């Protein structure tokens, strides 16, 4: 792990993770080309039984230790292409497995980039809280082959002094699988893609595409699989080019906790916000957000209802932050402004860095600002507890900036986070640096609040 130089003005940054080539998962090779499928089928049929056995055994010896339950996966993939060539279903078991192997690939999840972390207390582990440590779950945005983003999870611990450590992992990762009997899952990637093109094969307009998408689908991993090596891969047409920047929050409602996470779905042309909902992260419901203001990137849900209603931070105009209200967690039609970019380091655009954290003084909201040369920095605001559109205090200068010696990366000059955690009076803040590595820093909550200036007293009224 390379050391992180904090740079002038930054608190200490402890290195946590780097972009890597050995986070691998097996994936289906998508194709609609009947001739390719027919060619593989014909060649496999032409082999005698010994040749089929040897080819299958060679593939298993080559990849069997690198992936979980590989034979079962090959059979599943053979079934997925059978709609193009029904004769595949009549093959004997070994030939069908071998055909499936040809339509399976090994995919490196984080070979291009690893960044934009979010953090929550681990589900079901609240009893693990003690005088020394707490169990946590970290989400990460990973970019691999084809520049497609997926969401990785890592488990770990926060020690009493705020030190964050992660459980060790190997190279084998488990992708979430569609739950076949859940609402909306029958409209998988192939069905959606067909629905999103017109009769001439051209993409229809954004609102038409959005209206055609299923409202939700469900995915799951076996309970015995550690969350530390689970990955959410794109399923819907809306997200076929990536699932970006998950902002996790533990939401409390009537004494019950549920986890939500907003993220940006990108299909190569359009992007819009979607949401995951789960109690344990082994079974996850993915919802499409609706309403006039469910658009653009970076929506972040408050961790509880305010005055009986859901509240969300938004940047639906692409430049400044707004507060959304709703009686439903997935429909957003009411909006009021919070702030626009005030300081030179955020003139291009500003947005949130994850869900607000409740303190006795107000809602603490970490923000990001984009300045000259697309430099991303992190600041903070304090919002009124009952009227969160009212800004009480803010940081006129960035709290965190890209370290001078670590500004190069997949996207240079970026310091960014999608969520933090309050632990024993300290903020635990994992950050992505230039989309190339993850580090963690901490802030004393009281000291941070003392450094923030009243929102009406620092020239923020400039027009």
Per-residue pLDDT of the chain (463 residues; tens, 9 = 90+): 433 334 445 567 887 888 777 888 999 998 999 999 999 999 999 999 999 999 999 999 999 888 878 999 999 999 999 999 999 999 999 999 999 999 999 999 998 999 999 999 999 765 555 557 899 999 999 999 889 999 999 999 998 888 999 999 877 888 998 887 554 443 344 333 333 333 343 444 444 545 555 678 999 999 988 999 899 999 888 898 999 999 999 999 988 999 999 999 998 888 889 999 999 999 999 999 999 998 878 999 999 999 999 999 998 787 889 999 999 999 999 999 998 888 999 999 999 999 999 999 999 999 999 999 999 999 999 999 999 999 999 999 999 999 877 788 888 999 999 999 999 999 999 999 988 889 999 999 999 999 999 987 444 543 3
- Residue 131 is predicted with a pLDDT of 57
Instruction: Give Cβ neighbours of residue 399 (< 8 Å, ≥ 6 apart).
Output: 11, 366, 377, 378, 379, 380, 443, 448
- Residue 15 is predicted with a pLDDT of 79
Q: Are 313 and 321 in contact (CB under 8 A)?
A: yes
- Residue 196 is predicted with a pLDDT of 37
Q: For 309-321, what is each residue's pLDDT tens digit?
A: 999 999 878 788 9
- Residue 295 is predicted with a pLDDT of 80
Task: Please tell me the distance from the alpha carbon of residue 30 to that of residue 374, in angstroms, as a whole number.
Answer: 35
Please return the burial class of 223, using the count of CB atoms within 10 Å of its CB with bins 0-12, 13-18 and 19+: exposed
Q: Which domains does the chain have, with CATH numbers?
A: 14-23+109-454 (2.115.10.20), 26-107 (no CATH)
- Residue 197 is predicted with a pLDDT of 35
**439: its two tokens:** 């580090």
**95: its two tokens:** 């030939």
Task: From 153, 102, 149, select the one nearest 123 (Cα to Cα).
Answer: 153
The 8 Å CB, 24+ separation contacts for 83-91 are: 84/31, 84/32, 84/34, 84/37, 85/34, 85/37, 85/38, 85/41, 87/41, 88/37, 88/41, 91/41, 91/44, 91/45
- Residue 316 is predicted with a pLDDT of 79
Q: For 351-388, what is each residue's pLDDT tens digit?
A: 999 999 999 999 999 999 999 999 999 999 999 999 99
């Amino acid at each position: 792990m390379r050391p992180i130089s904090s740079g002038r003005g930054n608190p200490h940054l402890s290195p946590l993770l780097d972009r890597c080539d050995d986070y691998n998962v097996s994936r289906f090779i998508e194709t609609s080309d009947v001739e390719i499928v027919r060619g593989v089928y014909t060649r496999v049929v032409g082999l005698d039984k010994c040749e089929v056995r040897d080819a299958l055994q060679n593939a298993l010896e080559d990849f069997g230790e690198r992936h979980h339950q590989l034979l079962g996966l090959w059979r599943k993939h053979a079934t997925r292409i059978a709609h193009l060539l029904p004769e595949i279903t009549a093959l004997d078991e070994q030939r069908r497995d071998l055909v499936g192997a040809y339509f399976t690939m090994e995919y490196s999840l984080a070979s291009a980039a690893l960044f934009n972390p979010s953090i929550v207390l681990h589900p079901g582990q609240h009893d693990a809280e003690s005088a020394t440590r707490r169990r946590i779950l970290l989400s990460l945005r990973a970019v691999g082959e084809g520049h497609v983003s997926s969401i990785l999870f890592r488990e770990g611990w926060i020690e009493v002094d705020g030190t964050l450590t992660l459980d060790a992992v190997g190279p084998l990762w488990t992708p979430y699988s569609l739950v076949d009997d859940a609402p909306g899952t029958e409209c998988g990637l192939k069905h959606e893609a067909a629905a999103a093109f017109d009769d001439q094969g051209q993409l229809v307009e954004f609102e038409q595409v959005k209206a055609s998408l299923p409202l939700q689908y469900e995915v799951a991993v076996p309970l015995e699989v550690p969350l530390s090596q689970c990955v959410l891969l794109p399923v819907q047409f809306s997200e076929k080019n990536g699932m970006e920047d998950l902002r996790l929050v533990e939401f409390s409602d009537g004494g019950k906790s549920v986890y939500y996470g907003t993220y940006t779905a990108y299909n190569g042309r359009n992007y819009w916000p979607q949401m995951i909902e789960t109690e344990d992260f082994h079974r996850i419901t993915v919802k499409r957000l609706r309403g006039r203001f469910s658009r653009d990137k970076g929506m972040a849900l408050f961790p509880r209802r305010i005055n009986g209603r859901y509240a969300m931070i938004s940047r639906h105009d692409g430049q400044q932050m707004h507060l959304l209200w709703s009686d439903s967690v997935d429909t957003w039609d009411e909006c009021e402004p919070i702030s626009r970019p005030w300081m030179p380091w955020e003139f291009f655009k500003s947005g949130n860095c994850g869900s607000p954290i409740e303190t006795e003084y107000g809602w603490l909201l970490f923000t990001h600002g984009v300045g000259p040369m697309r430099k991303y920095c992190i600041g903070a605001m304090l919002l009124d507890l009952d009227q969160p559109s009212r800004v009480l205090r803010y940081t006129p200068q960035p709290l965190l900036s890209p370290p001078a010696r670590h500004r190069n990366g997949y996207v240079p000059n970026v310091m960014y986070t999608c969520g933090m955690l309050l632990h024993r009076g300290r903020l635990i803040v994992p950050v992505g640096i230039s989309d190339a590595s993850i580090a963690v820093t901490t802030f004393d909550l009281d000291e941070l609040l003392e450094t923030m200036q009243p929102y009406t007293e620092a020239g923020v009224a400039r027009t």
